[in-house]
Amino acid sequence: MSDYFTSDLHLGHANIIQHENRPFSSVEEHDAELVRRWNQVVQPNDTVYVLGDIGFVSSGDKGRLIALLRTMNGTIHLIRGNHDHNNVEKPGIRERFYWIKDIYMYRGQLDGEKIRIVLCHYPIERWERSQYGVWHLHGHCHGSLPKARMLRFDVGCMLHDYRPLSLVEVVRTFEAMVFWGIGPVFHHGEDQNDD
């Protein structure tokens, strides 16, 4: 069992293809390819944290989004994005998610090390325990933000070959950021509340 992170799939959103120059000729091709790439890496027992904008229901057609969500492997946790508020609470769609939240402190482990990551659809300037090296993943910006001198990065699917990133890939990215001097400046002493 592994954990994965992604955002901004925009399933069913035909305009995103032109707006973002996604390499697909139709919304049907777009959606089929995103689901295929998702299922290539995510197994049925894995957990996926989608950091917003998973899908788009046009003209009240929620059946298509429900069908797509049912074909996607894993237990899906959703952090609401700006395109999710009118879609994901609809019956048939809501039930596909283990939970839906606006922000979440992910707590995991990798090779015996505790991992803490604040998950939000939107990039945050400062987040809970950022001064102690807690990381932050977000979406929403579609790669448009300059690299920040803080431990956060955009997990938008369009930036990562239209597939979710594993926890290992996320940790390697953050480790590289620290190596290249992008890490935070610690100014509050040691974290006394590291649960």
* pLDDT for the residue numbered 188: 34
Q: Are 13 and 57 in contact (CB under 8 A)?
A: no
* pLDDT for the residue numbered 187: 36
pTM (2 decimals)?
Answer: 0.87
CB burial of residue 104 (10 Å; 0-12, 13-18, 19+): middle
Q: Which residues pair with 76 in a beta bridge?
A: 48, 97
Print pLDDT tens along the chain (195 aa). Answer: 899 999 999 998 888 999 989 999 999 999 999 999 999 999 999 999 999 999 887 656 778 889 999 999 999 999 998 877 777 777 788 899 999 999 999 999 988 888 999 999 998 887 787 777 788 899 966 555 666 556 788 999 999 999 999 999 999 887 877 654 544 433 334 444 555
119 closest CA partner among 47, 35, 190, 181: 47
72 closest CA partner among 60, 54, 85: 54
Outline where 42-133 has alpha helix (H).
Answer: 62-70
* pLDDT for the residue numbered 185: 39
In whole angstroms, what is the distance from residue 16 CA to residue 8 CA? Answer: 10
Residue 54 φ/ψ region, left for φ over 0, alpha for ψ in the -120 to 50 degree band, beta for the rest:
alpha
* pLDDT for the residue numbered 190: 45
Look up residue 137 and give its two tokens.
Answer: 């993943």
Domain ranges of the chain: 3-179
In whole angstroms, what is the distance from residue 59 CA to residue 78 CA? Answer: 23
In whole angstroms, what is the distance from residue 34 CA to residue 161 CA? Answer: 9
* pLDDT for the residue numbered 22: 94
Question: Which residues lie closer than 8 Å to 104 by C-beta, 6 or more apart?
Answer: 49, 77, 79, 118, 119, 120
Look up residue 162 and give its two tokens.
Answer: 């239209």
* pLDDT for the residue numbered 148: 57
Report the CATH architecture of 3-179: 4-Layer Sandwich (3.60)
